[in-house]
Structure 1
Amino acid sequence: MLPDAKVSLLIALQIPALKYSMPPTAAVTTAISAFSTYTRQLIRLGQLQEARKCFSMAGVLYRNGSQLLKTAIEGVFVYAVSPFLDAQPVKELLPSSLQQVRSRHLQAI
């Protein structure tokens, strides 16, 4: 399991564009919020290869994270990118574990 204190550092290492906008000791929800904002910007700009990296990273964080991190991915990341997932090319980028989370969210509405 990934330690919560290392989440922002791990994201910054994997997504260099976030290195300076995310303090290495940011709280989990703060880190996931910044990560979500960045991912949405990539989708808006049509940079789907970079967005794919973000979706993959979110899947890894979700699979290997603490309950706090999983909750942040479900409640912040998936919620933030969900409006963009109606477009087929973007929807296919989301890992299956997060597609299931999104499906549960949509069923709850």
Structure 2
Amino acid sequence: MLIRSQLPGISFPANGQPAGKVAVSKVINAFADYTGRMIRSGSLGEVKRCFTMAGVLYKNGSSTLRNAIEGVFVYALSPLLLKKHQALLPLALRNVRIQQLQTI
């Protein structure tokens, strides 16, 4: 709900699910896709907004949400991140990314 309210341009696949019942991983995947499009288009303000929102969700979310942000959001965006993007990541997500890179 927070993502949808803050980013009205984003759409989530419903897959026959009622509004608000879409799986967490599908929502975070759509969020990562949207953020990736913003990175590729050079919309740094929107990228920062997405990263800030992901950081808040990661900090305050359930373990399921945290796992989705680590395993879907950060992982999917990692190849797209240049230095200027990395600086926009909240510290907790920067640390997740570093841990992911060290395990490769």
The TM-score normalised by the length of structure 1 is 0.86
Task: Identify the residue that residue 35 of structure 1 maps to in structure 2.
Answer: 31
Does residue 13 of the first structure (1) align with residue 19 of the second (2)? no
The separation in 2 between residues aligned to 1:107 and 1:90, in whole angstroms, is: 19
2:5 and 2:69 map into 1 onto residues whose CA distance is 18
Q: Which residue of 2 aligns with 1:64?
A: 60
Once the two structures are TM-superposed, the CA of residue 88 in structure 1 deviates from its matched residue by: 1.5
Structure 1 position 100 matched with structure 2 position 95: yes
Which structure 2 segments of 5+ residues have no match? 13-18
> Which residue identity is paired with 2:83?
Q
Q: Which amino acid aligns with 1:98?
A: L
| 1:24-73 C-alpha deviation (Å, 9 max, x unpaired) | 32110000000000000000000110011000000000000000000000
In structure 1, distance between residues paired with 2:26 and 2:66: 14
Q: Which amino acid aligns with 1:13?
A: S
**Structure 1 moving runs of 4+ over 4 Å:** none
TM-score (norm 2): 0.90
Where structure 1 has 5 or more consecutive residues not aligned to the other structure, the ranges are 1-8
